[in-house]
Chain A
């Protein structure tokens, strides 16, 4: 009988052994060779080989800084990345530095996941100059309660892509795209044929709220957007916003110039390239894709305005996790500055279609030549002057979901524009009640 005990003990020992071995070999790399290992989480939302570019930039950084090893970890699209960062922090293994949506900053600050960067900037000789060089339109959504929590990195804005060939066919001037909502309807009507819609907007979760930011801004006269600047209040159900949503519904149901129901963000460029839709609202991040795959002449332009011209900015910023050692913070800061160097930021913009984040980028030959070659890309830069941050609040992920779900409910006909936004307002207020 004693044998059995031994066997049981042996069994347990084997288990424990298996556990330790596996834990050991799968845990985070520790600093065996005296170098500092930083984990860097990043999303890739655009096509092309953005992940490869980030990896090679990290390699370059590691070569330049032999005492630091940055380990880039690709964490999926933005939504997945937001989830993964939070899960990692909850799980007690936060990345040292990460790229996440700019809209996550309130959540990052309020939960203590990311640290304010003001001290780092103040301690850095070139700090002030560095921050001042970023485009104000992007820098605007780095602040929480007056403190800087993030540094702009892969930033985009939404522009309109249009098919010039279709414009010609419809008897429209291809150099004179629509500038107002009224013109948009007028043009779209002319462009709509049996197998081609005039205009396309993606209304799936995670996309609708972005374009809706634009419409809300375009229809606003009092400067009120979808949310307050401190991220604690939303204004979904204002008459202006109801009007904006109604305009979308009209495009689908009344004018019949936009596909009914919900078109996916990912499908829209394909439909545009296939000639199934003549004008689309999409990110500048898709520039590279459209530029290399279009079999027709295409143009880009500002989003048509209504009471004013406006567009949303979006995309990801660099954050540093709070609670990591001073040494790591310094290394992370160094890494962020490296990744956002003028030349590198310019090259990154060329390779991906993201808008270069710094004013000095636009002085470089790289960008100047690029704009000469692909004049369509310049629209994005010019539009930044009228762009505002997209919907950003505390608990941003949940608030996004609320707005998206309710927009969809109006689109699929479950609610009127007014009901939908009233409901969104109510649900959002419940979620934000904790922060008042």
Chain B
């Protein structure tokens, strides 16, 4: 028993040490964001505490605007995905009709090919539609989500047919049936997908970078990158850390509060992805 206890303590110790290593960059980031810049970086800041960096970047970069843009993107994208995917998943799970194979082929295609690699042709399409430098342009490619359809379809399939039949007998329309019977059972799937969708679009960079030209449409990530890459500033790191801190804060807070939900969502979505 003694050996076992020692082993258990060792494992705990090791997992804590690794946890501290994993946390180190975050600790350094926060430390640097809130202290005066110095020439040589050190893990534990040796300079005075200050809010100047945060103040400076908040005034230098229109973060307010970028926050609003990002929020709009994240919310509208998810809302549209919510509607289109629910409808599609219902059709695929419940209804019986010819041509489903083609639809599945398309769904698989999207699952295999992330939108990230189709930047060139999609940008051309967007220019032809006259939607470059618009928020809608950033979102459009994501309005049809294979992943969401897939997740929801599996949940819808598990709903007993009898429940739906009963609702129909009560005179419910198809839409009402979806609303009352199918959607409530798929709550976990919706939640999972919400987490995935929101964190993906909050973090996405390359596509919004290509599509946007002006602060009116820039996302937080694009704004941060522009700032981090500005060429001739001195001892930029304190400011970049402050800017980074500002943009990761909401997502990190959400994560620390809802960490279990986050992890489950990523597993759920990943497995079915």
Given contacts A73-B214, A93-B132, contact A15 B84 (CB under 8 A): yes
Whole-angstrom CA separation of A76 from B134 in the bound complex: 18
Whole-angstrom CA separation of A251 from B226 in the bound complex: 33
Taking CB atoms, residues of chain A closer than 8 Å to B79 are: 18
Map CB proximity to A onto B171-182 as digits: 1 under 8 Å, 0 otherwise. Answer: 001110000000
Asked whether, in the complex, the Cβ of A283 is within 8 Å of the Cβ of B229, the reply is no
Rounded to whole Å, the gap between the CB of B239 and the closest CB of chain A is 10
Which chain A residues (260-289) contact chain B, with CB distance < 8 Å? 265-266, 269-270, 273-274, 283, 285-286, 289
Whole-angstrom CA separation of A75 from B226 in the bound complex: 8
Taking CB atoms, residues of chain A closer than 8 Å to B235 are: 270
Given contacts A15-B80, A15-B83, contact A51 B60 (CB under 8 A): yes
Map CB proximity to A onto B212-253 as digits: 1 under 8 Å, 0 otherwise. Answer: 011111000000001001111111100000000000000000
Map CB proximity to B onto A82-115 as digits: 1 under 8 Å, 0 otherwise. Answer: 0010011011110100000000000000000000
Asked whether, in the complex, the Cβ of A46 is within 8 Å of the Cβ of B133, the reply is no
Whole-angstrom CA separation of A41 from B133 in the bound complex: 13
Chain A, residue nearest B130 (CB): A92
Rounded to whole Å, the gap between the CB of B242 and the closest CB of chain A is 16
Indicate if B29 sits at the interface (CB-CB under 8 A): no
Which chain A residues (20-61) contact chain B, with CB distance < 8 Å? 22-23, 26-28, 39, 41, 44-49, 51-52
Indicate if B47 sits at the interface (CB-CB under 8 A): no
* Interface residue stretch chosen among A1-9, A181-189, A410-418, A421-429: A1-9
Taking CB atoms, residues of chain B closer than 8 Å to A265 are: 231-232
Whole-angstrom CA separation of A212 from B130 in the bound complex: 41
Taking CB atoms, residues of chain A closer than 8 Å to B173 are: 3-4, 7
Taking CB atoms, residues of chain A closer than 8 Å to B236 are: 266
Asked whether, in the complex, the Cβ of B213 is within 8 Å of the Cβ of A274, the reply is no
Chain A interface size range: 35 or more
Most buried by A among B60, B143, B173, B214: B214
Chain B, residue nearest A46 (CB): B232
Asked whether, in the complex, the Cβ of B216 is within 8 Å of the Cβ of A26, the reply is yes
Which chain B residues (169-206) contact chain A, with CB distance < 8 Å? 173-175
Indicate if A77 sits at the interface (CB-CB under 8 A): yes
Chain A, residue nearest B174 (CB): A4
Which chain A residues (167-214) contact chain B, with CB distance < 8 Å? none
Given contacts A11-B87, A289-B232, contact A23 B131 (CB under 8 A): yes
Asked whether, in the complex, the Cβ of A44 is within 8 Å of the Cβ of B175, the reply is no
Q: Name A26's contact: one of B39, B127, B134, B232 (CB within 8 Å).
A: B134
Given contacts A47-B233, A87-B132, contact A273 B39 (CB under 8 A): yes
Map CB proximity to A onto B71-113 as digits: 1 under 8 Å, 0 otherwise. Answer: 0100010011001100100000000000000000000000000
Which chain A residues (328-358) contact chain B, with CB distance < 8 Å? none
Taking CB atoms, residues of chain B closer than 8 Å to A7 are: 87, 173-175
Indicate if A371 sits at the interface (CB-CB under 8 A): no
Indicate if A293 sits at the interface (CB-CB under 8 A): yes
Most buried by B among A78, A90, A269, A270: A270
Taking CB atoms, residues of chain B closer than 8 Å to A19 are: 136, 140
Whole-angstrom CA separation of A58 from B194 in the bound complex: 42
Taking CB atoms, residues of chain B closer than 8 Å to A274 are: 39-40
Taking CB atoms, residues of chain A closer than 8 Å to B174 are: 1, 3-4, 7
Indicate if B126 sits at the interface (CB-CB under 8 A): yes
Asked whether, in the complex, the Cβ of A27 is within 8 Å of the Cβ of B134, the reply is yes
Indicate if A14 sits at the interface (CB-CB under 8 A): yes
Rounded to whole Å, the gap between the CB of B266 and the closest CB of chain A is 28
Taking CB atoms, residues of chain B closer than 8 Å to A41 are: 213
Rounded to whole Å, the gap between the CB of A257 and the closest CB of chain B is 21
Whole-angstrom CA separation of A243 from B241 in the bound complex: 42
Given contacts A3-B173, A46-B232, contact A91 B127 (CB under 8 A): yes
Asked whether, in the complex, the Cβ of A80 is within 8 Å of the Cβ of B226, the reply is yes
Asked whether, in the complex, the Cβ of B234 is within 8 Å of the Cβ of A76, the reply is no
Whole-angstrom CA separation of A270 from B239 in the bound complex: 14
Asked whether, in the complex, the Cβ of B232 is within 8 Å of the Cβ of A92, the reply is no
Asked whether, in the complex, the Cβ of A23 is within 8 Å of the Cβ of B232, the reply is no
Q: Name B213's contact: one of A14, A93, A269, A270 (CB within 8 Å).
A: A93
Indicate if B210 sits at the interface (CB-CB under 8 A): yes
Chain B, residue nearest A5 (CB): B174
Taking CB atoms, residues of chain B closer than 8 Å to A285 are: 232
Chain B, residue nearest A10 (CB): B175
Taking CB atoms, residues of chain A closer than 8 Å to B130 are: 92-93
Whole-angstrom CA separation of A73 from B222 in the bound complex: 14
Given contacts A74-B215, A76-B226, contact A91 B126 (CB under 8 A): yes
Whole-angstrom CA separation of A91 from B126 in the bound complex: 8
Asked whether, in the complex, the Cβ of B230 is within 8 Å of the Cβ of A90, the reply is no
Asked whether, in the complex, the Cβ of B213 is within 8 Å of the Cβ of A22, the reply is no
Q: Name B234's contact: one of A1, A18, A273 (CB within 8 Å).
A: A273
Which chain A residues (270-325) contact chain B, with CB distance < 8 Å? 270, 273-274, 283, 285-286, 289, 293
Asked whether, in the complex, the Cβ of A90 is within 8 Å of the Cβ of B232, the reply is no
Taking CB atoms, residues of chain A closer than 8 Å to B134 are: 22-23, 26-27
Q: Name B232's contact: one of A39, A45, A88 (CB within 8 Å).
A: A45
Taking CB atoms, residues of chain A closer than 8 Å to B230 are: 44-45, 47, 76-77
Whole-angstrom CA separation of A88 from B214 in the bound complex: 10
Given contacts A11-B83, A22-B76, contact A88 B132 (CB under 8 A): yes
8 intermolecular pairs with C-beta atoms under 8 Å apart: A3-B174, A18-B76, A19-B140, A22-B72, A51-B60, A80-B229, A93-B133, A289-B232
| Shortest Cβ-Cβ A-B pairs, 9 listed | A91-B132, A47-B233, A274-B39, A76-B226, A3-B173, A91-B127, A22-B136, A46-B232, A26-B134
| B-binding residues in A (CB < 8 A) | 1, 3-4, 7-8, 11, 14-15, 18-19, 22-23, 26-28, 39, 41, 44-49, 51-52, 73-78, 80, 84, 87-88, 90-93, 95, 265-266, 269-270, 273-274, 283, 285-286, 289, 293
Q: A1-B174, A26-B136, A88-B213 are in contact. List 6 more A-B contacts (CB 8 A).
A: A26-B216, A39-B214, A51-B60, A84-B213, A92-B130, A266-B236
| A-binding residues in B (CB < 8 A) | 39-40, 60, 72, 76, 79-80, 83-84, 87, 123, 126-127, 130-136, 139-140, 143, 173-175, 210, 213-217, 226, 229-236
